[in-house]
Structure 1
Protein backbone atom coordinates (compact mmCIF):
# COMPACT_ATOMS: atom_id res chain seq x y z
CA UNK A 1 0.00 0.00 0.00
CA UNK A 2 1.21 3.46 -0.83
CA UNK A 3 0.28 6.88 0.55
CA UNK A 4 -2.67 7.25 -1.84
CA UNK A 5 -4.07 3.88 -0.71
CA UNK A 6 -3.76 5.07 2.90
CA UNK A 7 -5.66 8.26 2.01
CA UNK A 8 -8.38 6.19 0.34
CA UNK A 9 -8.71 3.98 3.42
CA UNK A 10 -8.81 7.05 5.67
CA UNK A 11 -11.62 8.58 3.60
CA UNK A 12 -13.53 5.28 3.49
CA UNK A 13 -13.13 4.96 7.25
CA UNK A 14 -14.80 8.35 7.64
CA UNK A 15 -17.55 7.52 5.15
CA UNK A 16 -17.69 4.05 3.59
CA UNK A 17 -20.53 5.17 1.29
CA UNK A 18 -18.62 8.01 -0.40
CA UNK A 19 -18.88 7.96 -4.21
CA UNK A 20 -15.84 7.12 -6.30
CA UNK A 21 -16.07 10.58 -7.88
CA UNK A 22 -16.00 12.36 -4.51
CA UNK A 23 -13.29 10.02 -3.22
CA UNK A 24 -11.22 10.75 -6.34
CA UNK A 25 -11.61 14.49 -5.76
CA UNK A 26 -10.37 14.13 -2.17
CA UNK A 27 -7.32 12.01 -3.07
CA UNK A 28 -6.65 13.79 -6.38
CA UNK A 29 -7.30 10.84 -8.71
CA UNK A 30 -9.86 10.19 -11.41
CA UNK A 31 -13.03 8.28 -10.53
CA UNK A 32 -11.80 5.32 -12.60
CA UNK A 33 -8.36 5.28 -10.91
CA UNK A 34 -10.03 5.31 -7.49
CA UNK A 35 -12.37 2.47 -8.50
CA UNK A 36 -9.39 0.37 -9.63
CA UNK A 37 -7.52 1.02 -6.38
CA UNK A 38 -10.58 0.20 -4.25
CA UNK A 39 -11.05 -3.07 -6.17
CA UNK A 40 -7.37 -3.92 -5.62
CA UNK A 41 -7.65 -3.11 -1.89
CA UNK A 42 -10.69 -5.42 -1.75
CA UNK A 43 -8.78 -8.24 -3.49
CA UNK A 44 -5.85 -7.79 -1.09
CA UNK A 45 -8.15 -7.99 1.92
CA UNK A 46 -7.72 -4.41 3.17
CA UNK A 47 -11.40 -3.77 2.47
CA UNK A 48 -13.78 -6.60 3.37
CA UNK A 49 -17.54 -6.22 3.36
CA UNK A 50 -17.11 -2.44 3.29
CA UNK A 51 -15.22 -2.60 6.54
CA UNK A 52 -11.66 -1.31 6.73
CA UNK A 53 -9.27 -4.04 7.88
CA UNK A 54 -6.04 -2.73 9.38
CA UNK A 55 -2.94 -4.90 9.86
CA UNK A 56 -2.98 -6.82 13.14
CA UNK A 57 -2.09 -4.76 16.15
CA UNK A 58 -2.97 -1.50 14.34
CA UNK A 59 -5.98 -0.43 16.38
CA UNK A 60 -6.69 2.84 14.57
CA UNK A 61 -10.01 3.11 16.40
CA UNK A 62 -8.22 3.03 19.79
CA UNK A 63 -10.22 0.03 21.01
CA UNK A 64 -8.70 -2.38 23.54
CA UNK A 65 -9.49 -6.10 23.42
CA UNK A 66 -9.38 -8.49 26.36
CA UNK A 67 -10.58 -11.96 27.33
CA UNK A 68 -11.85 -12.88 30.77
CA UNK A 69 -11.95 -16.53 31.79
CA UNK A 70 -14.63 -16.96 34.45
CA UNK A 71 -15.03 -19.66 37.09
CA UNK A 72 -18.61 -19.79 38.38
CA UNK A 73 -19.68 -21.06 41.81
CA UNK A 74 -22.14 -23.49 40.24
CA UNK A 75 -21.80 -24.34 36.57
CA UNK A 76 -25.33 -25.65 36.22
CA UNK A 77 -27.10 -22.78 38.01
CA UNK A 78 -25.01 -19.86 36.83
CA UNK A 79 -27.72 -18.25 34.71
CA UNK A 80 -27.60 -15.01 36.70
CA UNK A 81 -23.96 -14.55 35.72
CA UNK A 82 -24.80 -15.10 32.04
CA UNK A 83 -27.70 -12.63 32.22
CA UNK A 84 -25.47 -9.98 33.83
CA UNK A 85 -22.73 -10.49 31.24
CA UNK A 86 -25.27 -10.09 28.42
CA UNK A 87 -26.06 -6.59 29.75
CA UNK A 88 -22.45 -5.33 29.43
CA UNK A 89 -22.30 -3.52 26.06
CA UNK A 90 -18.55 -4.07 25.60
CA UNK A 91 -18.98 -7.86 25.66
CA UNK A 92 -18.60 -8.94 22.02
CA UNK A 93 -18.79 -12.69 22.73
CA UNK A 94 -19.35 -15.03 25.64
CA UNK A 95 -18.71 -18.75 25.24
CA UNK A 96 -19.59 -21.53 27.68
CA UNK A 97 -16.56 -23.80 27.90
CA UNK A 98 -15.84 -27.36 28.83
CA UNK A 99 -12.84 -28.05 31.01
CA UNK A 100 -11.36 -25.99 33.82
CA UNK A 101 -12.97 -22.62 33.02
CA UNK A 102 -16.72 -22.05 32.71
CA UNK A 103 -16.92 -18.98 30.48
CA UNK A 104 -14.76 -17.10 28.01
CA UNK A 105 -15.88 -13.47 27.84
CA UNK A 106 -14.41 -11.39 24.99
CA UNK A 107 -14.40 -7.62 25.45
CA UNK A 108 -13.75 -4.56 23.30
CA UNK A 109 -13.63 -1.21 25.06
CA UNK A 110 -12.36 2.30 24.49
CA UNK A 111 -9.69 2.17 27.19
CA UNK A 112 -7.77 -0.02 29.59
CA UNK A 113 -9.60 1.70 32.44
CA UNK A 114 -12.92 0.53 31.01
CA UNK A 115 -11.57 -3.03 30.62
CA UNK A 116 -10.51 -2.93 34.28
CA UNK A 117 -13.95 -1.65 35.30
CA UNK A 118 -15.67 -4.48 33.44
CA UNK A 119 -13.28 -7.03 34.94
CA UNK A 120 -14.03 -5.69 38.43
CA UNK A 121 -17.76 -5.82 37.70
CA UNK A 122 -17.56 -9.45 36.51
CA UNK A 123 -15.29 -10.51 39.41
CA UNK A 124 -17.76 -9.06 41.94
CA UNK A 125 -20.85 -10.69 40.44
CA UNK A 126 -22.66 -13.08 42.78
CA UNK A 127 -21.93 -16.56 41.47
CA UNK A 128 -18.44 -15.77 40.16
CA UNK A 129 -15.73 -17.63 42.06
CA UNK A 130 -12.64 -16.37 40.19
CA UNK A 131 -11.43 -14.80 36.94
CA UNK A 132 -8.31 -14.74 34.77
CA UNK A 133 -7.91 -11.83 32.36
CA UNK A 134 -5.68 -11.51 29.28
CA UNK A 135 -5.24 -8.42 27.12
CA UNK A 136 -4.96 -8.86 23.36
CA UNK A 137 -1.58 -7.58 22.19
CA UNK A 138 -2.14 -8.24 18.49
CA UNK A 139 -4.33 -10.34 16.23
CA UNK A 140 -2.52 -12.62 13.78
CA UNK A 141 -5.65 -14.07 12.13
CA UNK A 142 -8.79 -12.02 11.51
CA UNK A 143 -10.95 -13.78 8.96
CA UNK A 144 -14.21 -12.19 7.88
CA UNK A 145 -17.25 -14.27 8.77
CA UNK A 146 -19.41 -15.51 5.91
Structure 2
Protein backbone atom coordinates (compact mmCIF):
# COMPACT_ATOMS: atom_id res chain seq x y z
CA UNK A 1 0.00 0.00 0.00
CA UNK A 2 1.47 3.31 -1.04
CA UNK A 3 0.98 6.53 0.97
CA UNK A 4 -1.67 9.04 -0.02
CA UNK A 5 -0.58 11.83 -2.34
CA UNK A 6 -2.16 15.30 -2.26
CA UNK A 7 -4.75 14.36 -4.91
CA UNK A 8 -5.88 11.31 -2.93
CA UNK A 9 -6.19 13.54 0.13
CA UNK A 10 -8.24 16.06 -1.86
CA UNK A 11 -10.51 13.29 -3.13
CA UNK A 12 -11.09 12.01 0.43
CA UNK A 13 -11.75 15.54 1.66
CA UNK A 14 -14.30 16.18 -1.09
CA UNK A 15 -16.01 12.83 -0.49
CA UNK A 16 -16.25 13.58 3.24
CA UNK A 17 -17.99 16.84 2.38
CA UNK A 18 -20.28 15.26 -0.20
CA UNK A 19 -20.16 11.49 -0.68
CA UNK A 20 -22.72 11.78 -3.49
CA UNK A 21 -20.54 13.99 -5.71
CA UNK A 22 -20.26 12.64 -9.25
CA UNK A 23 -16.92 11.46 -10.57
CA UNK A 24 -17.09 14.21 -13.21
CA UNK A 25 -17.68 16.97 -10.62
CA UNK A 26 -15.01 15.52 -8.34
CA UNK A 27 -12.61 15.37 -11.27
CA UNK A 28 -13.20 19.07 -11.90
CA UNK A 29 -12.31 19.86 -8.29
CA UNK A 30 -9.05 17.84 -8.33
CA UNK A 31 -8.11 18.45 -11.99
CA UNK A 32 -8.47 14.84 -13.14
CA UNK A 33 -10.70 13.12 -15.66
CA UNK A 34 -13.84 11.34 -14.49
CA UNK A 35 -12.21 8.00 -15.28
CA UNK A 36 -8.99 8.84 -13.39
CA UNK A 37 -11.09 9.78 -10.33
CA UNK A 38 -13.01 6.50 -10.56
CA UNK A 39 -9.74 4.52 -10.70
CA UNK A 40 -8.34 6.38 -7.68
CA UNK A 41 -11.53 5.85 -5.65
CA UNK A 42 -11.48 2.14 -6.44
CA UNK A 43 -7.85 1.97 -5.27
CA UNK A 44 -8.66 3.92 -2.08
CA UNK A 45 -11.46 1.42 -1.38
CA UNK A 46 -9.25 -1.58 -2.12
CA UNK A 47 -6.45 -0.29 0.13
CA UNK A 48 -8.83 0.46 3.00
CA UNK A 49 -8.70 4.27 2.98
CA UNK A 50 -12.41 4.20 2.16
CA UNK A 51 -14.05 1.45 4.19
CA UNK A 52 -17.59 1.90 2.94
CA UNK A 53 -20.45 4.30 2.53
CA UNK A 54 -23.37 5.18 4.75
CA UNK A 55 -26.40 7.40 4.91
CA UNK A 56 -26.95 9.63 7.93
CA UNK A 57 -30.63 10.46 8.14
CA UNK A 58 -32.20 13.48 9.71
CA UNK A 59 -35.70 14.20 10.88
CA UNK A 60 -36.64 15.78 7.55
CA UNK A 61 -39.89 17.71 7.75
CA UNK A 62 -41.19 15.81 10.77
CA UNK A 63 -40.32 16.40 14.41
CA UNK A 64 -39.22 12.80 14.77
CA UNK A 65 -36.95 12.35 17.79
CA UNK A 66 -34.41 9.61 18.16
CA UNK A 67 -34.46 7.66 21.41
CA UNK A 68 -31.06 6.46 22.53
CA UNK A 69 -30.33 3.67 24.96
CA UNK A 70 -27.05 2.25 26.22
CA UNK A 71 -27.14 -1.45 26.92
CA UNK A 72 -24.47 -3.02 29.07
CA UNK A 73 -24.28 -6.67 28.05
CA UNK A 74 -22.79 -9.46 30.15
CA UNK A 75 -21.91 -12.56 28.14
CA UNK A 76 -21.57 -16.10 29.45
CA UNK A 77 -18.11 -16.43 27.90
CA UNK A 78 -16.10 -13.28 27.20
CA UNK A 79 -13.58 -15.03 24.99
CA UNK A 80 -15.93 -17.13 22.89
CA UNK A 81 -18.93 -14.83 22.71
CA UNK A 82 -18.57 -14.01 19.02
CA UNK A 83 -22.08 -15.26 18.26
CA UNK A 84 -23.48 -12.34 20.27
CA UNK A 85 -21.39 -9.85 18.27
CA UNK A 86 -22.50 -11.47 15.03
CA UNK A 87 -26.16 -11.16 16.04
CA UNK A 88 -25.75 -7.53 17.15
CA UNK A 89 -24.33 -6.59 13.74
CA UNK A 90 -27.63 -7.67 12.17
CA UNK A 91 -29.75 -5.24 14.22
CA UNK A 92 -29.99 -1.97 12.25
CA UNK A 93 -30.69 0.16 15.32
CA UNK A 94 -27.43 -0.93 16.97
CA UNK A 95 -25.22 2.00 15.98
CA UNK A 96 -22.18 1.14 18.11
CA UNK A 97 -20.83 -1.77 20.11
CA UNK A 98 -17.66 -1.65 22.16
CA UNK A 99 -15.92 -4.53 23.95
CA UNK A 100 -15.17 -3.30 27.45
CA UNK A 101 -12.97 -4.09 30.40
CA UNK A 102 -14.40 -4.28 33.88
CA UNK A 103 -17.68 -5.73 35.07
CA UNK A 104 -19.62 -5.86 31.81
CA UNK A 105 -18.47 -7.15 28.43
CA UNK A 106 -20.15 -5.00 25.81
CA UNK A 107 -21.48 -1.47 25.62
CA UNK A 108 -24.16 -1.34 22.94
CA UNK A 109 -25.62 1.97 21.71
CA UNK A 110 -29.11 1.62 20.28
CA UNK A 111 -30.94 4.42 18.48
CA UNK A 112 -34.58 4.11 17.42
CA UNK A 113 -37.52 6.38 16.69
CA UNK A 114 -39.67 4.72 19.37
CA UNK A 115 -38.92 3.57 22.90
CA UNK A 116 -40.98 0.44 22.26
CA UNK A 117 -38.55 -0.56 19.50
CA UNK A 118 -35.70 -0.31 22.02
CA UNK A 119 -37.70 -2.56 24.36
CA UNK A 120 -38.04 -5.11 21.53
CA UNK A 121 -34.31 -4.96 20.86
CA UNK A 122 -33.60 -5.35 24.59
CA UNK A 123 -35.77 -8.49 24.61
CA UNK A 124 -33.96 -9.81 21.54
CA UNK A 125 -30.51 -9.20 23.07
CA UNK A 126 -31.52 -10.55 26.49
CA UNK A 127 -32.79 -13.72 24.85
CA UNK A 128 -29.57 -14.47 22.98
CA UNK A 129 -28.00 -17.75 24.10
CA UNK A 130 -24.61 -16.15 24.80
CA UNK A 131 -26.02 -13.32 26.95
CA UNK A 132 -26.03 -13.78 30.72
CA UNK A 133 -27.54 -10.41 31.71
CA UNK A 134 -28.13 -6.84 30.54
CA UNK A 135 -28.49 -3.41 32.04
CA UNK A 136 -30.17 -0.69 29.99
CA UNK A 137 -30.07 3.09 30.46
CA UNK A 138 -32.01 5.56 28.32
CA UNK A 139 -30.31 8.82 27.38
CA UNK A 140 -32.31 11.84 28.55
CA UNK A 141 -30.57 14.21 26.13
CA UNK A 142 -27.46 14.44 24.01
CA UNK A 143 -25.39 17.49 24.90
CA UNK A 144 -22.12 16.69 23.11
CA UNK A 145 -21.81 14.67 19.92
CA UNK A 146 -18.60 14.87 17.95
CA UNK A 147 -17.15 13.31 14.85
CA UNK A 148 -13.47 13.01 15.49
CA UNK A 149 -11.55 14.08 12.36
CA UNK A 150 -9.52 10.86 12.31
CA UNK A 151 -12.76 8.84 12.31
CA UNK A 152 -14.64 10.69 9.59
CA UNK A 153 -14.32 7.74 7.29
CA UNK A 154 -16.92 7.36 4.60
CA UNK A 155 -18.45 4.01 5.49
TM surpasses 0.5: yes
List structure 1 segments (4+ residues) > 6 angstroms apart after TM superposition.
none
Shift of 1:145: 3.0
Structure 2: gaps spanning 5 or more residues: 1-56, 150-155
Match of 1:90 among 89, 93, 117: 93
Alignment TM-score, normalising by the size of structure 1: 0.58
Q: CA deviation at 1:72?
A: 0.1
Residue matched to 1:3: none
CA RMSD of aligned residues (A): 1.5
The structure 2 residue matched to 1:139, chosen from 139, 142, 155, is 142
TM-score (normalizing by structure 2): 0.55
Bigger RCO (CA 8 Å, 6+ sep): 2
Aligned counterparts, 1:73-112, within 5 A:
73-112=76-115
Unaligned runs of 5+ in 1: 1-50, 53-59
CA distance in 2, matches of 1:110, 1:61: 7
